[in-house]
Structure 1
Amino acid sequence: MAATPVSSSAPTSPSSSSSRRSSPYLPTSRETLLLAIFPVLLLFGTLFRLLSPQTRGAVVAAAPSTAHYDQAPGLAPSYFARKDNVLNVFFVKRGWFWITVTFAAFVGTHPFFSTATATAPRTAKSASLLGRRDSAILRWGLVTGWWILVTQWFFGPALVDRNFRLTGGGCQALQAAVEDDVAADKQPSPLLLAATASACKHAGGQWRGGHDISGHVFLLVLGTIFLAQEIGWVLWRRAALGPSLSSSAAARVADARSLVMHDGTVKSAEVEAGLAAALSSLSASSASSASSEPSIAASRIALRFAAVVMGLCLWMLLMTAIYFHTWFEKLTGLMVALTGFYSVYILPRWVPEVRRVVGVPGL
């Protein structure tokens, strides 16, 4: 692909550039539009559950506040209200596996990560210490770490289990056994004292009584945002470097992110990208870095696969909003996911030392 002259992709004036830039402490307007999808889906699902005769008249399997419907096919208000529906079993329950496969396919095939300048460490003071691919893998590790701490393990039970117990919940069927042991002056079993939701269910108990942060909402929102950040900004950058863009079109796709530099000044992400230097480098090596037809085809397949995975995430988020959990459990699941998003993708924009390690998608 031929490179665009510098003048066609740079902003037309400093004033127009500053007007498009957002605060480095907040998501850009485009990111805000993406983030707005999640509360809209959750709100729509909650209203649908309240207004639909099928959901209002359905038999709830356990305590009404949990909104978990009876799994008998004839009693569930919808196929997706059953926990054994195929997407829940093979997609959501293994959600981070699919997110990881999608990310690996994109990073492994897209030309943005295959050039020499993309894989070599940066030398400029403001740039990331790692190459593009290594920085992306590091960010995947950070987001994956957050997913593990929240849902799998946090120096023992995961954060969702710890929160459930701290808000008064526990394993009800096992609680009676604990009380019997205490009354008999016996030492309770460690399993009874440190039961997680998984351990409780395997022991035949019921995990009730506390605030259950929606793990489904957390996973689906975090996975969608992660893929949107890692893929979306790369595609946006490639569009900004397109060979046939007019100056007005280039201004519309210019990077609106702002970054706090080491000297405290706030500048456009275009500055840190070193757009002019990158363009000359691409222009000089366009013949040698041109992607082969098989690699281009693989990249397109990876992008289509990513679109399918993100679409399934949004669909299952809507199904979760309609059929499972209370509105507050869904809200806290959303907030915990957004905490991870802010820490990995917004915080580095205004903390240069963090950005130098983890990098920024698309730069």
Structure 2
Amino acid sequence: MAAATLRPVTLPLAALLVYPATLLLGSLYSTISPTANPSRDTQLASPLAPSLAADLHLSESPVNYFARKNNVFNVYFVKIGWLWTTAAFVSLLLFQPLYSSSRPQSSSQQETRLRRTLQAVLRYALATTAWYLSTQWFFGPAIIDRGFVVTGGKCERAFEKVEELGTGTTDLEALFTAATCKAAGGAWRGGHDISGHVLMLVLATGFLAFEAVGASAPAFPSRFGPTGDAGRERKASDADSPPTVGTTESGGVAGTWSLRLVWGVVGLGWWMLFMTAIWFHTWLEKWSGLLIALSAVYAIYILPRRLASWRNVVGEPGI
């Protein structure tokens, strides 16, 4: 009789294609739809040209609710998106049996759960670092702001005000970020503005999706030997000898709701990514944000499948 094999459930690399597909669909819709592409005061000649930094905006009274920067989902979800991401991830650590259990455990099971938890926290730390350095701070202005200045962007209106006062602008230009420019009453114009929304939403939803799939699947012994090579897979004929680290324990009500929270954040994150693809930024700015985010997701979740030394450090969800 043919032997069946059991493998940990993980997201395939092809699952990441949902992100470029979403941006492509949104960008095409924004181009061909009369609603999404009205006459704009800030309309640009080319979708690849530099934009108003922060948003390639519609009119003062946009025809779609999601084209408004002050829509409730943008203000209370996207703007604090990493807080929602963190809360959803913590719920997995607290309520999924892969990481915590109320049942008696052997010392080997405790060690396995501790290893999984530490590696999951490390993956979270890596994703958070990628988000933080790109959008918040990178030894001064974030990578996105530095890239904008390098490509010719500046805080135009604020500089005009400073010049009227007869003060220099060189130092001011070097220190400005998109946030400080807006706070000073300026307009962040002229450079390539990598979409921070796209970067954060892709990175956050990719991170949570990989973690949720791994945490919610029954845990099996690692398919990798101690040297990182593919080890012997557990066969159906081994059923009488239970795995030393496997579990089919249910997370109960709390575990169910933690997964609902995670997938709710992922679903809303995807929707806001689609809205961003339709209403904001140029094509190139959206796709550059996507490239940075997918590079981080690849390094954290796909590369360990191919590189044993890296896998031994960050692990894989569900293993």
Contact kept, 8 Å, 1:260 with 1:349, in 2: the verdict is no
Counterpart Cα distance in 1 of 2:38 and 2:314: 50
Are positions 1:281 and 2:244 aligned together?
Answer: yes
| Alpha-carbon shift at residue 361 of structure 1 (Å) | 1.2
Contact 2:22 2:273 in 1 (8 A): yes
Corresponding residue of 1:100: 86
2:148 touches 2:193 (CA, 8 Å); kept in 1? yes
> 156, 162, 166: which one pairs with 2:150?
166
TM-score normalized with structure 1 length:
0.73
CA contact (8 A) 1:58 1:76 kept: no
Contact 2:58 2:279 in 1 (8 A): no
**Retained in 2: the 8 A contact 1:59–1:76?**
no
Same amino acid, percent of matched pairs: 40
Match for residue 175 of structure 1 among 159, 169, 183: 159
Cα-Cα RMSD: 3.3
Contact 1:98 1:309 in 2 (8 A): yes
Residue 219 of structure 1 is aligned with which of 200, 203, 207?
A: 200
Report the alpha carbon displacement of residue 219 of structure 1 after superposing the two structures with TM.
Answer: 0.6
- Kept after mapping to 2: 8 A contact 1:161/1:196: yes
Q: CA offsets per residue over residues 199-250 of structure 1, 9 Å max, x none?
A: 1111111101000000000011001110111111233445x79xxxxxxxxx
Q: Secondary structure at the match of 2:243?
A: helix
Do the aligned partners of residues 118 and 204 (structure 1) sit closer, same or farther apart at CA in structure 2, a change above 3 Å counting?
Answer: farther
Q: 8 Å contact 2:154–2:173 — kept in the other structure?
A: no
Query: Residue deviations 1:95-123, cap 9 Å, x none?
Result: 0000110011012101111254454169x
Q: Higher helix fraction: Structure 1 or Structure 2?
A: 1
Unaligned runs of 5+ in 1: 1-6, 12-27, 123-129, 242-254
**Residue matched to 2:111:** 120
Distance (Å, rounded) in 2 between the aligned partners of 1:350 and 1:278? 29
Give yes or no for the alignment of 1:330 onto 2:318: no
Residue 135 and residue 180 in structure 1: after superposition, are their counterparts in 2 closer, same or farther (change >3 A)?
A: same
* Rounded Cα–Cα distance in structure 2 between residues aligned with 1:137 and 1:277: 34
The amino acid of 1:341's aligned partner reads V
Whole-angstrom CA distance in 2 between matches of 1:270 and 1:92:
42
TM-score by length of 2: 0.82
Q: Which residue pairs with 1:138 in the alignment?
A: 122
Aligned CA distance change for structure 1 residues 8 and 156 (closer, same or farther; 3 Å):
same
CA distance in 2, matches of 1:347, 1:305: 27
Residue 85, structure 1, aligned to residue 46, structure 2: no
